[in-house]
Chain A
Amino acid sequence: MTMVASAPAMAGARPHGAPLLYLRGIGKTFSNGVTALRDTDLAIREGDFLSLLGPSGCGKSTALRIIAGLSMPTSGLLDWRGKGQTDIGFVFQEPTLMPWANVFDNVWLPLRLRGVSRAEAEPTVRSLLERVRLSGFEKAMPRELSGGMKMRVSIARGLVTKPRLLLMDEPFAALDEITRFRLNNDLLDLWQQERFTAIFVTHSVFESVFLSNRIVVMAARPGRVYREIDVDAPYPRDEAFRTSAEYAALCREASGVLAEAIHLNAGGGHDGH
């Protein structure tokens, strides 16, 4: 909590930090016999923005749920480093807000469940709402908000406990492109300010390249890690980066790897769509 980061986030790519978590040989087989994930090794470092990219059925959501502790691995282990398992923030694919509670109460929830009173939580919740650009919406009910605003509330809720690790499961998949771009920009800003580690599940090459410093491309049936790509473009990344030749080249590279991962199974008799 009191860790002071001396390196300014502005200069170049983030220096890769200390290891936070190793996935060692993680596998998951459901009771119906489906193997969602097989023998997965992954290193997550402090300060990473890591994307899990792959076709549906590649186990990326399963991996995220295992890291969150919502699901138990069938084999392998989670090796937490440093202070051991940390507080985790989770952002679901849908905003998943409590419809009967207003924005403030929704963001307050994780703190409330830890016994923090409304008054104690107020400064944290308010400042976080300000940073996701929702100041003044404390009293609004979820149904009064647009899809993008609901997602902002959901992100604020994920960050309210100041977790070291924020897990996001295709959070922007249901949003229109304009809203998604804005949320991508704002998410990166937040990541640089708050200095949390992020694991971001997506099936969008463009999104993963724009956001992450590392992309883990996964293959399906069974779900496994296919290849890792380092995205060496410097932060902060903005609209200029989005239209740059560098970005286009990185997207082309990632698309190529993803296509390879998708076609792995095509030769083996399995039909990928």
Chain B
Amino acid sequence: MTATDVAHSVALDPEEARRARLARLERVGRWVLPVVIMLVAIWVWDRICVWNEIPHYILPRPGLVLQTLYNDAGLLFSSLLVTLRITLLGLLCAVVGGVGLAILFTQSRWMEMSLFPFAIVLQVTPIVAIFPLINIYVDNQTAKLLLCAWIVAFFPILSNTTLGLNSVDRNLIDLFRLNGASRWQQLWLLKLPAAMPYFLGGLKIAGGLALIGAVVAEFVAGSSGQSSGLASRIIEAGYRLNAPRLFAALILISLTGIVIFLATSLISHLILRRWHESALAREG
């Protein structure tokens, strides 16, 4: 009896050891691997430029891009600020508008049935195609861009929050009814918290979309108007064959997108970590 037990545990050991080793490796690899691959890619990029003797106005070497980022910092960062302002304001409007409409929808099914098609129309029509109209109707440059960012970003928040508000546990609704909860109490204490994971999922998508909306709007407006965001820096640099600055502006936009994603993910994690399945630590 004991002999088989011992044999059993001995037979198990290497497997467990291997599993532990693998888990340790994975923990390190999760961070190290992307960084290493990114560095290798940049190095390859640099080598391609050198080996093929590509002129810097076609494909600048990474070092030159970095230097441009430093030299043109004043210009680029003030542009970044403009784009960032539009993005964040657009996102804010999307949150207010999306959540507001979703709350309206849960108060009345009729309202939802009547208005939801409009939201879908706004979502499926490409923003680039709508922009000329906005350009005619709206004078203020900031308002134009804001409207674009809002149209692109608000739908995921609206649809996710609506879904969340409608997915409340039926028994909990009964419990609230049983205890004579008012509409307001039901919304504030039950529906909004229950919809929170859905809303935060929408927010994560909307954050990236607001940036895209802001940049695209500026692109379309840039050819007709006088904007000063990162997109117009890119157009400008394109006209002048200033590839290093173009790359620098592009990198700034990507970084902004990444920061927005990380920020919304962090917000989501902080709010949900104590109760929602999505935020639970996975256990072996």
A→B interface (CB under 8 Å)? 68-70, 88, 90, 92, 94, 96, 98-101, 109-110, 112-114, 141-143, 161
- A residues less than 8 Å from B175 (CB atoms): 90, 92, 96, 109-110
The answer on a CB contact under 8 Å between A141 and B274 is yes
How distant is B240 from chain A, measured CB to nearest CB, in Å?
54
Which B172-204 residues have C-beta < 8 A from chain A?
Answer: 172, 174-181, 185, 189-190, 193-194, 196
When each residue 226-251 of chain B gets 1 if its CB lies under 8 Å from chain A and 0 otherwise, what string results? 00000000000000000000000000
Of the listed residues B174, B179, B185, the one surrounded by the most CB atoms of chain A closer than 10 A to its CB is B179
Q: Tell me if B118 is interfacial: C-beta within 8 Å of chain A.
A: no
Judged by a CB distance under 8 angstroms, whether B72 is at the interface is: no
Bound Cα distance from A196 to B246, whole angstroms: 76
CA distance A50 to B176 in the complex (A): 25
With a CB–CB cut-off of 8 A, which chain A residues contact B277? 143
**Cβ contacts under 8 Å, B174 to chain A:** 70, 90, 92
Shortest C-beta distance, B266 to chain A (Å), equals 18
Asked whether B26 is an interface residue with its Cβ less than 8 Å from the other chain, the reply is no
| Tally of B interface residues using CB under 8 Å | 22
With known contacts A70-B174, A94-B171, A99–B276 Cβ distance under 8 A: yes
Q: Let me know if A96 and B171 touch, CB within 8 A.
A: yes
Given contacts A70-B174, A92-B171, A96-B169, contact A142 B275 (CB under 8 A): yes
- List 8 A-B pairs, minimum CB-CB distance, nearest first: A96-B171, A113-B179, A99-B275, A100-B193, A110-B179, A92-B171, A113-B181, A100-B275
Chain A residues near B193: list those with CB within 8 A. 98, 100-101
Q: How far is the CB of A103 from chain B (nearest CB, A)?
A: 12
Cβ distance B176 to chain A, nearest Cβ, rounded Å: 7
Residue among B171, B178, B180, B275 with most chain A CB within 10 A? B178
CA distance A100 to B175 in the complex (A): 16
Q: Which residues of B contact A (CB under 8 A)?
A: 169, 171-172, 174-181, 185, 189-190, 193-194, 196, 274-277, 280
Q: How far is the CA of A143 from the CA of B175 in the complex (A)?
A: 20
> Are B275 and A114 in contact, CB atoms less than 8 angstroms apart?
no
Q: How far is the CA of A214 from the CA of B189 in the complex (A)?
A: 38
Q: B275: which A residues are within 8 A, CB to CB?
A: 99-100, 141-143
**Which residue of chain A has its CB nearest to the CB of B180?**
A113
Instruction: Give the CA-CA distance A70 to B180 in the complex, in Å.
Output: 11
Q: Chain A residues near B280: list those with CB within 8 A.
A: 143
Given A113-B185, A142-B275, A143-B275, do A100 and B178 touch, yes or no (CB 8 Å)? no
Which residues of chain A are within 8 angstroms of B169 by Cβ–Cβ distance?
Answer: 96
13 additional A-B residue pairs with CB within 8 Å, beyond A90-B175, A99-B276, A113-B180: A68-B178, A70-B177, A88-B178, A99-B275, A100-B193, A100-B194, A101-B193, A110-B175, A113-B181, A114-B179, A114-B180, A141-B274, A143-B275
Q: Which residues of B contact A70 (CB under 8 A)?
A: 174, 177-178
- By the criterion CB–CB under 8 Å, are B172 and A69 in contact? no
Rounded to whole angstroms, the CA-CA distance of A70 and B175 in the bound complex is 9
**23 A–B contacts, CB within 8 A, in A order:** A70-B174, A70-B178, A88-B178, A90-B174, A90-B178, A92-B174, A92-B175, A96-B169, A98-B172, A100-B275, A101-B193, A109-B189, A110-B175, A112-B189, A113-B179, A113-B180, A113-B181, A113-B185, A113-B189, A114-B179, A141-B274, A141-B275, A143-B275
Contact A100 B180 (CB under 8 A): no
- Say how far B279's CB is from chain A's closest CB, in angstroms: 10
- Chain A residue with Cβ nearest B174: A70
Tell me the complex Cα distance, A110–B178, Å.
Answer: 9
User: In the complex, what distance in Å separates the CA atom of A186 from the CA atom of B105?
Assistant: 44
Complex CA gap A110/B189 in Å reads: 11
Chain A residue contacts of B190, Cβ below 8 A: 98
Q: For B178, what are the chain A residues with a Cβ–Cβ distance below 8 Å? A: 68-70, 88, 90
A161 to B180, CA, bound (A): 12
CA distance A70 to B178 in the complex (A): 7
Residues of A near B181 (CB, < 8 A) are 113
CB contacts (< 8 Å) of A143 on chain B: these are: 275, 277, 280
Shortest Cβ distance from residue A10 to the other chain B in the assembled complex, whole angstroms = 33
Q: How far is the CB of A156 from chain B (nearest CB, A)?
A: 13
Identify which of B174, B176, B177 gathers the most chain A CB atoms within 10 Å of its CB: B174
Q: Return the chain B residue nearest A99 by Cβ.
A: B275
Nearest CB to that of B271 among chain A residues?
Answer: A100
A residues less than 8 Å from B274 (CB atoms): 100, 141
Q: Which residues of B contact A99 (CB under 8 A)?
A: 275-276
Contacts of B276 in A (CB 8 A): 99-100
- Contacts known (A99-B276, A100-B275, A141-B275); A113 close to B176, Cβ less than 8 A: yes
Residues of A within 8 A of B176 (CB): 113
Q: How far is the CB of B89 from chain A (nearest CB, A)?
A: 29
B27, chain A: closest CB distance, angstroms: 24
Contacts of B177 in A (CB 8 A): 70
Q: How far is the CB of A138 from chain B (nearest CB, A)?
A: 14
A141 vs B189: C-alpha distance when bound (angstroms): 16
Contact partners of B171 in chain A: CB under 8 A: 92, 94, 96
Nearest-neighbor residue (CB-CB) of B177 within chain A: A70
A99 to B179, CA, bound (A): 19
